[in-house]
Amino acid sequence: MQNLLGEIVYFFQRLNWLNYLDLILVTVVFYAVLLLLRDTQTVVLLRGVLFFVILLTLLTSFINLPAFSWLVKTIVPALLFAIPVIFAPEIRRGLEKIGRAGPYKLFSTQKFSQDQKIKQTIHAVVTASARLSARQHGALIVLQRRENLDDYISTGVQLNAAVTPELLLQIFYPNTPLHDGAVIIADNLIVAASCVMPLSASGILTRSPERQMGLRHRAALGTSEAVDAITVVVSEQTGSISIAHNGRMIRRLDSERLENILLAFYQPSDNQSDNIKPSDYFRKIFNIRKEDE
């Protein structure tokens, strides 16, 4: 143990200011990558890759396996070339985000304006959901977060319209051309309607009291399992409002609770303490509602 500490001290004594700068730059790069991948499905894949690399390193370092070590040394370079291919969509989205967010967006006035737009969007969604619920008109609204939804947007009809309760009510009016499928909201715009979303394959709806729910609820849950988006669904049979995220669904929400949950995801600093993540906040509410049921 003393030899190890001595080697660590000797290592830091040999470092100069260029080495420290080098380490800081590498740390910043890794931090930026993790920040872009935060709360996405890619984190699970990245965790698996890191576990695989660490396991191979331990096996080749502490156990004398010549053939296996040769195989690892042959495969690892190919893996390095495969990583950009595996994470190509995330890299593209990250570069697009950097390109769209110019230096002027870093100022507080721009942030304040963006916060106001988010509040207006959420208020429009909540108002429309309440009216749809009162009329028992079915609806499925998907709110994009960090993960891009271009693959699902391409399945629907492009709108790129402002988010208003009146437009959402018109879209989901029964027997209109766009009432089937989902509305996708991104960057405070209704980018598309009548979109085809993935259905849940987890079987949660068949093992619980929610088993009588239809395709809209299965699509809401399936979307939340595939991406980090928030899905709001209004039942056509009962008019009840539900919200799904990360493979979990909260049912029978009123407009006030729905707005609080959405604000917790898009403006957590105004609705909860900084040390509570929106996903943890949602999980807490889910557990409370589950106990009540």
- The tens digit of pLDDT for each residue in 138-171 reads 999 999 988 888 889 999 999 999 999 999 999 9
Among 34, 52, 123, 15, CA closest to 60: 52
Query: What number is the average pLDDT over the span 13-19?
Result: 78
CATH of the domain at 199: 3.40.1700.10
Say yes or no: 62 and 155 in one domain: no
**Domain range spanning residue 87?**
2-100
Query: Among residues 80, 100, 120, which one ends one of the domains?
Result: 100
For residues 233 and 61, the model is more confident at 233
Residue 172 contacts by C-beta under 8 Å, 6 or more apart in sequence?
A: 132, 137, 138, 139, 178, 179, 183, 234
264 and 248 in a common domain: yes
Domain check: are 191 and 125 in the same one? yes
125 and 267 co-located in one domain: yes
Q: What's the average model confidence in pLDDT over 255-278?
A: 70
Domain count, the chain: 2
pLDDT tens-place string over residues 100-136: 555 444 444 455 567 788 999 999 999 999 999 999 9
Q: Which range, of 20-34, 44-58, 80-94, 212-226, averages the lowest pLDDT? A: 80-94
What are the b/e assignments for 125-142, b being 16+ CB within 10 Å? Answer: bbbbbbbbbeeebbbbbb
